[in-house]
Structure 1
Amino acid sequence: MNILVIGTGYVGSTTAMVFAELGCNVTGLDTDEHKIQQLKQGALHFYEPGLEDLLKKHVHSGRIRFTTNKEAAIQGNDVIFICVGTPSRLDGNADLRYVKQVAEDIGQMMGEYKLIITKSTVPVGTQEQITSWVQAAQEKPYPFDVASNPEFLREGKAVEDALNPDRIILGSNSKRATKLLESLYKSVKCPIVITTPRTAELIKYASNAFLATKISYMNELARLCDEMDINVMEVADGMGLDPRIGSSFLQAGIGYGGSCFPKDVSALILAAKQNNVQLEILDKVIHVNQTQYAYLLDKARERLGSFANKKLAVLGLAFKPDTDDTREAPALRVIERLLNEQAHVTVYDPVAKLPNYPPYDVLSVCADVEEAMLDADAVILCTEWPVFKTINWTDMKRLMHQPNLFDGRNMFDAQDMNAMGYYYQGIGYGD
């Protein structure tokens, strides 16, 4: 089957590579010529474990190719996945300008039946809007269907999730489209849910909002654990054994970030308000998440006093390990607060880079952990990169001005760090 994937960002690149792996002939379309040239050479423009290996494999096999030629790509493929960005607008809703442009391009350039499938995360009702945009752009009334097939990819685990999904959601109002969608996934072994496009669109938002809720619930519970001298990690272990709860997303820390949870929770709240419903639980989810990083900094301030003229080493920039994504990363909130309080800040991340943002110009971006921790008054750990576990923390202590470690991801054992001579503070460890 010949498939066109429009948009070669995180979702689009993963979608393209996985369908090539499943035996389809895939074309990746993007307006960014530099990005396309990189992909043609087998180089990803972002970090995702295992994905570049698939890219090299299928560029070499010929199963995947990349182009900026919209007309040829649209006319040459009957199945089209929309994988463009849907960033948040100032009002919290999803910005659909790129989705609309793609829909209009398809309408103008198609010459026969097309199945248009939305992979991008979009508000409920977008399938209907895409249908209208395509129809309005058509010069001749060629037949087409629009379906919803939301992605459920974890950054850092995208290849695993795409090749071994826990479920596939197919939202379609057309028997022809549904049959074609089922054939696309015929070799994938997992439950397939066939529903309406509106339901499929809501399933995506509802799933991410629920996972964000679990995170904020545990973060709020961690604050109680600190006051009651209880280890929140032991609480999470006990809770997670209940299959109705599960162990995932019960890790307390400094909050969630990334390109999905923050914008999807906000978009769902806004959609509810537009339908005269107040999602009060999700309002609280956002509030807890936006204040959780400050909770750890309050602990650090109690220990150090004023941050002014103190040297603070921030370890980890990405919102989670195994990605270079810093969008909405708690580390950036930590850094901005430290800078506002006149601290000297050094940063280290094994993969992620600081955004190009003027306030960050005063930071010392370090080549390794040793450089970041040299003469530091404290370390604030913001991302649980596995490499941080391999550090010789006894040697690192000798480099520091004061051996204080504030662990925003509860990565280390408090007793072990105390035994090495550190003042250690996690989140929800109790006394």
Structure 2
Amino acid sequence: MPIAVAGAGYVGLTTAACLCELGHEVALLEIDGERVARLRRGECPFYEPGMDRLLRRHLGRSLTVTTSLDEAIRRAGMIIVCVGTPPSSSGAPDLQALWRLLDDLRVRRPAEPLTVVLKSTVPPGTNRRAQGRLGAGFAVVSNPEFLREGTAIHDFFHPDRIVVGAESAPAARQVADLYRGIDAPLVTTGWEEAELIKYASNAFLAVKLSFANEVAALADALGADGLAVLKGVGLDRRIGGHFLHPGPGYGGSCLPKDLAALLWTARRRRVRLDLLPAARRANLRQRERVLAMLEPAAGRRIAVWGLAFKAGTDDVRESPALAIVPALLAQGARVLAHDPQARGNFAAALAAGQAQGLPAGLELVDDPWEAIRGADALLVLTEWPEYAAAPPEEIRSALAGDLVVDARNLFDPASMAAAGLRYRGVGRRGR
């Protein structure tokens, strides 16, 4: 059965390309003409390992890219909706793109029944509203995504679970059949349960990361090895070691946005939540802790390695660097920053709030060694492998000062000390 996928962003393109790999025929709908032109040339518009190869393999064969909704759904029995749902100032997701698409679908009502799969992350109740808005002839199914940037292709083919929320059993089976050949538990629920599974999953990850950072802060105060503590905690099978790694705080397009949306949903329903607001405050506090490790920054030259919110992506949305770098500049520091993939996106994000270009005192460089040469201190904010491979002796030789603040705990403290560096990690004062 031919499938339409609406939205060629991170989730939409990954979904379309991977469904082609499973043997499906996909029409990818995108309204951004420049993005469509790049896709038709076989260029992935964002950095995701393996996506260029997958795109070129299926483009012009099982994958077509179009700007026309009519063309996308002409033969399709299903449309998978992957449009953006960015956060508003209240925390509520902006669903305008979703409602516009659904209204267009209703106007262009196909002759045959159409299954509408909402893969975009939406608040509980949205799929029910969508079904009411579309009416007869459409079956709405919730099928949330759990892709991690940097490992999206692997995650599509090796998911921890596949969640399908529907009130129509035939539509639910139709969506489940998309993933035939993938070995993963199938969770079949109603609409609201599927929507809440997505939000609750990301909220729990945010809590776990904030917990790890607070334990690391306490370990630092006690002179204990926080990483050893968290390893011991994570070996408990009831807890697990994933997401128990301290760092500069979580960021990205999912955890902050989904946590805010879940809190907004709770406020609308007059449900008091205490744990999740505390996790969000703890995450913001972690950035202050990282800044405090650098000592007074006024008049000093600070090298920053890493601008993306994590390694393996060029995404800077809610990246700790977007808060920490401007704070250093406000203190009077000169900042030279490097990232192997995210420099352009970081520059665009910062320049958006400036009258002209980048803030004064900030320089984005093409080589990590150019950033640290002559710097008073090095701050590591993203866990890129090339940073972890840097020899401590060469770091010491390039720096004018001797301070390394490793917010990702990439380096061995003993090796850094042996090279003559003052090393500060997160939760590592006991090392």
The corresponding residue for 2:120 is 120
The corresponding residue for 1:274 is 268
| Matching of residue 297 in structure 1 with residue 291 in structure 2 | yes
How far is 1:13 from its partner? 0.4
Task: Look up the SS of the partner of 2:94 in the other structure.
Answer: coil
Task: Look up the SS of the partner of 2:87 in the other structure.
Answer: coil
| Matching of residue 242 in structure 1 with residue 241 in structure 2 | no
Amino acid at match of 1:38: R
Amino acid at match of 2:374: D
Contact 2:303 2:335 in 1 (8 A): yes
Residue deviations 1:240-286, cap 9 Å, x none?
A: 21111111000001100000000101111111111111111001100
Contact 1:27 1:65 in 2 (8 A): yes
Task: Look up the SS of the partner of 1:401 in the other structure.
Answer: coil
The corresponding residue for 2:99 is 100
The corresponding residue for 1:10 is 10
TM-score, normalised to structure 2, is: 0.95
Amino acid at match of 1:26: V
Contact 1:74 1:109 in 2 (8 A): no
2:226 to 209, 216, 232: 232
Number of positions where the alignment pairs a residue of Structure 1 with one of Structure 2: 420
Task: Look up the SS of the partner of 1:269 in the other structure.
Answer: helix
TM-score, normalised to structure 1, is: 0.95
Aligned counterparts of 1:385 and 1:179: Cα–Cα separation in 2 = 41
The corresponding residue for 1:222 is 216
Amino acid at match of 1:345: V
Aligned counterparts of 2:292 and 2:109: Cα–Cα separation in 1 = 58
| Matching of residue 185 in structure 1 with residue 170 in structure 2 | no
| Matching of residue 134 in structure 1 with residue 134 in structure 2 | yes
Contact 2:231 2:241 in 1 (8 A): yes
The corresponding residue for 1:387 is 386
Aligned counterparts of 2:337 and 2:410: Cα–Cα separation in 1 = 18
| Matching of residue 197 in structure 1 with residue 184 in structure 2 | no
How far is 1:182 from its partner? 2.3
Aligned counterparts of 1:72 and 1:398: Cα–Cα separation in 2 = 60
The corresponding residue for 1:169 is 163
How far is 1:179 from its partner? 2.1
Task: Look up the SS of the partner of 1:290 in the other structure.
Answer: helix
Aligned counterparts of 1:57 and 1:340: Cα–Cα separation in 2 = 48
1:20-419 matches, within 5 Å, as 20-59=20-59, 62-111=61-110, 112-135=112-135, 143-301=137-295, 306-353=296-343, 354-356=346-348, 357-358=350-351, 359=354, 360-362=358-360, 363-419=362-418
Aligned counterparts of 2:427 and 2:391: Cα–Cα separation in 1 = 25
Amino acid at match of 1:191: P
Show structure 2 runs of 5+ residues with no match. none
Contact 1:17 1:54 in 2 (8 A): yes
How far is 1:396 from its partner? 2.6
Contact 2:19 2:26 in 1 (8 A): yes
Aligned counterparts of 1:124 and 1:98: Cα–Cα separation in 2 = 17
Aligned residues: CA RMSD: 1.2
How far is 1:345 from its partner? 0.4
Residue deviations 1:48-75, cap 9 Å, x none?
A: 1111111111115x01010001122123
Task: Look up the SS of the partner of 2:272 in the other structure.
Answer: coil
Aligned counterparts of 1:221 and 1:121: Cα–Cα separation in 2 = 31
How far is 1:347 from its partner? 0.3
The corresponding residue for 1:430 is 429
Task: Look up the SS of the partner of 1:379 in the other structure.
Answer: strand
How far is 1:361 from its partner? 3.8
Aligned counterparts of 1:116 and 1:327: Cα–Cα separation in 2 = 28
Amino acid at match of 1:107: R
Aligned counterparts of 1:33 and 1:53: Cα–Cα separation in 2 = 22
How far is 1:159 from its partner? 0.4
The corresponding residue for 1:138 is none
Show structure 1 runs of 5+ residues with no match. 136-140
Task: Look up the SS of the partner of 1:194 in the other structure.
Answer: strand
Amino acid at match of 2:288: A
Residue deviations 1:21-60, cap 9 Å, x none?
A: 0000001001011111111111100001111111111115
How far is 1:291 from its partner? 1.4
